[in-house]
């Protein structure tokens, strides 16, 4: 990412970034996610870092990536000059992109092993729908972010065309039914199992959580992959759950630093799993 982009930041840069061409490129990469994961996840990670840089500088900032997964985001955030720490409960995921596990934490987003107020940027991409207690994970992300820091949380809402993940679009007929259908057709259960590793999550509930939380201010709420002129769908309750495809919430941590749990990691150098 160019330093010029990072310095530019702000609404004008965000608009220049969210072009139709970018949305098409992401969608094309998504179509080959199974056969060419390096292309899809590499592009998604670079795209995410550019999107984050439209709201906050990254050079020298500590970024905690909750549910960081295979390591593609590590490379992209580090290339932008951030001090990146990934966290995931699944240690196998860390090395899938060929990266080492240095600077990664093993843990759950619902009980972050991180000192309160320790990070400048709390980031999470496509994880919230995999967590049984999403509000708890959001509360934890707020806790570890310093006052003035920024939070980015994106997820696929349940009523999105991709809400059922590999069981989509049958999830529209019910998550259990979609799961059984997948098993019948493929002779194995889906990776994302309804109410085990995939939970119905909505934009409405997430916005309600954010607006009811005095420790955060909503900076932006948008369909993550849409061009800038498609942002309006977020203003339509109900319809946005389908039409947003993927929801991105950008928050600023306000207030004072909460009393921290002293035993938790400082995030000065990351830790090895
Ligand atoms: C769909 S992947 C997303 C990976 C990456 N963030 C991305 O956007 O490509 C979901 C990730 O969430 C992780 N995950 C599942 N439950 C979690 C939890 N309770 N806390 C943190 N991460 C979790 C999984 O191990 C997996 O790496």
Q: What is the residue-wise DSSP string for 228-264?
A: GGGGGGGGSTTHHHHHTSSEEEEEEE-S-PPPP-TTS
pLDDT digit string (tens) for 203-238? 999 999 999 999 999 999 999 999 999 999 999 999
Q: How far is the CA of 65 from the centre of ligand 1 (A)?
A: 10
For residues 51 and 139, state if they share a domain: yes
Model pLDDT, residue 267: 57
- Residue 261 reports pLDDT greater than 50: no
- Residue 43 to residue 217: CA distance in whole angstroms: 29
Model pLDDT, residue 2: 42
Nearby residues of 82 by Cβ (< 8 Å), 6 or more positions away: 58, 59, 60, 61, 62, 63, 121
Model pLDDT, residue 103: 75
Of 51, 89, 140, the residue with max ligand 1 atoms within 8 A of its CB, to mutate for a pocket test, comes to: 89
Q: How far is the CA of 89 from the centre of ligand 1 (A)?
A: 8
Domain contains 270: no
125 SS3 class: strand
Domain contains 259: no
> Do 136 and 144 touch, CB atoms closer than 8 A?
no
For residues 183 and 209, state if they share a domain: no
Mean pLDDT of 132-160: 98
Q: How far is the CA of 85 from the centre of ligand 1 (A)?
A: 14
For residues 163 and 245, state if they share a domain: no
- Residue 39 reports pLDDT greater than 90: yes
Measured from the Cα of 65, ligand 1's closest atom is: 6
Q: How far is the CA of 112 from the centre of ligand 1 (A)?
A: 13
Domain contains 269: no
For residues 15 and 131, state if they share a domain: yes
For residues 15 and 138, state if they share a domain: yes
Model pLDDT, residue 64: 98
| Ligand 1 atom 8: residue of nearest CA | 125
For residues 63 and 185, state if they share a domain: no
Of 29, 67, 111, the residue with max ligand 1 atoms within 8 A of its CB, to mutate for a pocket test, comes to: 67
Q: How far is the CA of 226 from the centre of ligand 1 (A)?
A: 22
How many structural domains does the chain have? Answer: 2
Q: Which domain holds residue 169?
A: 158-197
Domain contains 13: yes
| Ligand 1 atom 4: residue of nearest CA | 69
Mean pLDDT of 175-180: 98
| Ligand 1 atom 18: residue of nearest CA | 108
For residues 224 and 168, state if they share a domain: no
- Residue 159 to residue 243: CA distance in whole angstroms: 9
Length of the chain: 273
For residues 208 and 174, state if they share a domain: no
- Residue 52 reports pLDDT greater than 60: yes
Q: How far is the CA of 88 from the centre of ligand 1 (A)?
A: 6
For residues 140 and 223, state if they share a domain: yes
Tell me the pLDDT band of 265, cut-offs 50, 70 and 90: low
For residues 170 and 74, state if they share a domain: no
- Residue 189 reports pLDDT greater than 50: yes
Measured from the Cα of 41, ligand 1's closest atom is: 9
Last residue of a domain, one of 197, 228, 262: 197
pLDDT digit string (tens) for 83-132? 999 999 986 655 555 555 667 899 999 999 999 999 999 999 999 999 99
Of 88, 113, 134, 273, the residue with max ligand 1 atoms within 8 A of its CB, to mutate for a pocket test, comes to: 88
Mean pLDDT of 169-178: 98
What mean pLDDT is reported for the chain? 90
Domain contains 40: yes
Q: What's the predicted TM-score (pTM) here?
A: 0.90
Model pLDDT, residue 70: 82
pLDDT digit string (tens) for 55-72? 999 999 999 999 998 889
């Amino acid at each position: 990412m160019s330093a010029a982009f990072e310095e530019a930041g702000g609404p004008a840069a965000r608009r220049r970034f969210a072009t139709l061409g970018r949305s098409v490129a992401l969608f094309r990469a998504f179509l080959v996610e199974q056969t060419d994961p390096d292309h899809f996840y590499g592009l998604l990670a670079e795209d995410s870092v550019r999107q984050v840089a439209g709201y906050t500088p990254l050079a020298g900032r500590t970024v905690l990536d909750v549910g960081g997964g295979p390591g593609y985001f590590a490379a992209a955030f580090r290339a932008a000059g951030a001090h990146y720490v990934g966290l995931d409960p699944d240690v196998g995921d860390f090395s899938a992109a060929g990266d080492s596990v240095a600077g990664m934490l093993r843990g759950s987003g619902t009980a972050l092993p991180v000192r309160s107020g320790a990070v400048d940027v709390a980031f999470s991409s496509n994880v919230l729908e995999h967590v049984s207690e999403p509000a708890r994970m959001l509360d934890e992300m707020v806790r570890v972010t310093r006052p003035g820091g920024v939070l980015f949380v994106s997820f696929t809402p349940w009523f999105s065309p991709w809400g059922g993940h590999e069981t989509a679009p049958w999830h529209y007929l019910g998550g259990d039914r979609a799961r059984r259908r997948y098993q019948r057709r493929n002779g194995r259960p889906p990776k994302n199992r309804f109410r085990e590793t995939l939970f119905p999550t909505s934009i409405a509930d997430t916005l309600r959580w954010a607006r009811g939380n005095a420790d955060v201010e909503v900076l932006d709420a948008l369909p993550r992959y849409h061009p800038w002129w498609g942002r309006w769908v977020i203003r339509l309750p109900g319809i946005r759950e389908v039409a947003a495809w993927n929801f991105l919430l950008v928050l600023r941590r306000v207030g004072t630093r909460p009393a921290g749990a002293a035993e938790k990691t400082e995030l000065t150098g990351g830790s090895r799993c």
